[in-house]
Chains A and B, each alone.
Chain A
């Protein structure tokens, strides 16, 4: 179970948290405006009434202890920067995701210690450009991976003692055995770069490698289960 603190309750944060699996994530919504907090409570989210400017209040809701991820979704960039800065001071490991309104603030947020910046306008602009440039692929992805259809991206980390350890990529046969496509592999220890699978046919898998796969959720579940099973054989 991961704990997420969401600061600022608005359209964006609502969209984000309603897509998260309630069984995997415990979400706490915080907003300065009591009306918004009430609205969040009405929508079934756990809320907390604290002042984000105070370090003690942040500690109170679990930043520095059990909170893993922080969403800084306030409307004003200055508030997000302040929150990021205070939270980073309390917890070096915290995963901080912040939205940014004006592009100049992106650097400030990164400097303050945010892990990921989300610029809704930039994303939207890029998406519209993509729509214009290659409508076919765009539509497919919009409806499948990001849409209602059951086609998902997933990442599977190879655990210790897995049957996949030391296996060749060419031996995996994901597409015939599971109806899954292996897109690439990332080894976090080395770099966060994705190794494109078709170019590294002879690569041996090692513990800690993350496989990025695409497929229907049932197949993804089945594959994940098998990966964790020591006795499963190729």
Chain B
């Protein structure tokens, strides 16, 4: 009966919207590192922690201040609530119950409640013994008045900062990565302290003028000397004791320099990933950006254009000096291998990346990055560079949307230039926006005044615009001549004056930039005007 009730409750929780919503809400607030809520929450908690420590210091001089007491209580409540909610998010008890219930159902057995509770308890214990949970408890316990001796541990609350701040985490990570070296050093130091401590004790104990009266004094002196602090309150008086001091000082120089070098190495190794994670964090804030893989000449050229247009992008390259160059120019850059899934995922290929450019000088790498990106994101626009003609099809097979061949384009341009230099200069100027005259498209949207209008009526010559053609996928136009198929679309070159535009068509116009913009604005205004009248 009890088992049935528990299972029923578990199913109810599973299906209940409020339960799920509240869990998601608290998950976003406490654990989800991508959510904005967590950032605000973390900042608030850091503020509270610092305040509570300030109150502790204030309390030392002003016993039993009333305000401090209330504040302390409020903070305590928040900490306790946070502790339990984290436990709740971690545990997912109802899932365990449902799982066990379904297993029992399948095997035709009765649900064994004790084993279910054991499993739930194991999950809870796992939470309780996790390092962060222990720090949380340490922050809560000292507030319990009967354990007044623990009040000093309130200072441990500051450890909670590790939870809320990435840089503190980083510090701990850097130390943790050198665990082996540090533990070796620790063992050696312990030996040293022990040997030196015991020897000085042997030599100096009860010697004339000596301050070493017990073993604790001996160890105290050893550590003060080892740390090169040397207060001078205890000094060796006997010749033997002085020899110990000489030996200890020499050895401690080694220990300290070893310790410093470990720390420096740990941080400089970590710095690289710190910079990288800063880049990732910045990318996280963008809603749309382009990934450029390969920062050779081609990549630099594209980056320059994108930078001028204030488009967001990130450069990924393996070569340190190229990344240094990219950073020097103020671009976001990641020094890593772009064919690595993790790098692309961290860069946000599945999130906000709108396009990826695989433009390294090596076709093998380009194919590999193309394949990886297509595998990770089906809808991404992928533009790849083929340095050899025979690799074009491989890149398309790998999933590229466009393949570009630098040498072929350059060859084509050289040939065009020899054949007809004037026409070539004219069109390349227009295509690359080097002249005041540009080529742009204007979309015929639904309910636009252009919809169902004949081209002859548009009065384009008056507007000083040339119509090169119309791009459309509308089958209604297929009867017209001069059509050129481009992928799924048709390009109708030089359409007749009686060509009727339909919505979805695109006019390709040649003219001055502001002429085309003005035309587009007018069309849009008239569309909005006609809608408001309707």
Please encode chain B, from 450 to 486, with 1 for each CB lying within 8 Å of some chain A CB and 0 for all others.
0000000000010011101101000000000010101
What chain B residues lie within 8 Å of A116 (beta carbons)?
A: 417, 421
User: Across the interface, do B383 and A124 meet the contact criterion of CB distance under 8 Å?
Assistant: no
User: Across the interface, do A198 and B508 meet the contact criterion of CB distance under 8 Å?
Assistant: no
Please encode chain A, from 180 to 212, with 1 for each CB lying within 8 Å of some chain B CB and 0 for all others.
110110101000101011110100000000101
User: Across the interface, do A155 and B423 meet the contact criterion of CB distance under 8 Å?
Assistant: yes
User: Across the interface, do A141 and B441 meet the contact criterion of CB distance under 8 Å?
Assistant: no
Expressed in whole angstroms, the minimum distance between the Cβ of B267 and any Cβ of chain A is: 37
* A197, B510: Cα distance in complex, Å: 10
Determine which residue in B298, B383, B424 has the highest number of CB atoms from chain A within 10 A of its CB, and name it: B298
Determine which residue in A13, A140, A183 has the highest number of CB atoms from chain B within 10 A of its CB, and name it: A140
Please encode chain A, from 36 to 76, with 1 for each CB lying within 8 Å of some chain B CB and 0 for all others.
00000000000000000000000000000000010101000
Q: Which of the 9-residue segments B65-73, B181-189, B333-341, B432-440 touches chain A?
A: B432-440
Given that A151-B493, A197-B466 are known contacts, is A124 also in contact with B418, CB under 8 Å in the complex?
no
* A154, B424: Cα distance in complex, Å: 8
Main secondary structure of the interface of A (DSSP, over half): mixed
B420 close to chain A: CB less than 8 A: yes
Category for how many chain B residues contact A: 35 or more
Q: Which residue of A lies closest to B309 (CB)?
A: A133
B54 close to chain A: CB less than 8 A: no
* A137, B407: Cα distance in complex, Å: 22
User: Across the interface, do A127 and B409 meet the contact criterion of CB distance under 8 Å?
Assistant: yes
User: Across the interface, do A136 and B441 meet the contact criterion of CB distance under 8 Å?
Assistant: yes
Question: Of B301, B461, B493, which contacts A124 at CB under 8 A?
Answer: B301
Given that A144-B484, A151-B484, A216-B482 are known contacts, is A128 also in contact with B414, CB under 8 Å in the complex?
no
* A29, B388: Cα distance in complex, Å: 21
Chain B, range 203-253, C-beta contacts under 8 Å to A: none
Question: Of B300, B408, B419, B508, which contacts A20 at CB under 8 A?
Answer: B419
Main secondary structure of the interface of B (DSSP, over half): mixed
What chain B residues lie within 8 Å of A125 (beta carbons)?
A: 297-302, 304-305
User: Across the interface, do B406 and A120 meet the contact criterion of CB distance under 8 Å?
Assistant: yes
User: Across the interface, do A198 and B407 meet the contact criterion of CB distance under 8 Å?
Assistant: no
User: Across the interface, do A19 and B411 meet the contact criterion of CB distance under 8 Å?
Assistant: yes
B426 close to chain A: CB less than 8 A: yes
What chain A residues lie within 8 Å of B402 (beta carbons)?
A: 131
User: Across the interface, do B471 and A140 meet the contact criterion of CB distance under 8 Å?
Assistant: yes
What chain A residues lie within 8 Å of B431 (beta carbons)?
A: 130, 141
Expressed in whole angstroms, the minimum distance between the Cβ of A132 and any Cβ of chain B is: 6
User: Across the interface, do A71 and B414 meet the contact criterion of CB distance under 8 Å?
Assistant: yes
Question: Of A10, A16, A155, A181, which contacts B466 at CB under 8 A?
Answer: A181
* A196, B408: Cα distance in complex, Å: 29
What chain A residues lie within 8 Å of B494 (beta carbons)?
A: 175, 179-181, 215
Expressed in whole angstroms, the minimum distance between the Cβ of B286 and any Cβ of chain A is: 15
Q: Which residue of B lies closest to A146 (CB)?
A: B412
Offer 26 A-B interface pairs, CB within 8 angstroms, sorted by A: A12-B407, A15-B415, A16-B411, A16-B415, A17-B415, A19-B412, A19-B415, A25-B418, A71-B414, A97-B414, A119-B410, A128-B302, A128-B383, A131-B383, A139-B487, A139-B489, A143-B484, A144-B493, A181-B468, A183-B430, A194-B437, A201-B461, A212-B427, A214-B493, A216-B482, A216-B493
Q: A139-B487, A146-B412, A153-B424 are known contacts; what are 8 more A-B pairs with Cβ within 8 Å?
A: A12-B410, A15-B412, A16-B418, A73-B414, A97-B417, A133-B309, A198-B465, A215-B494
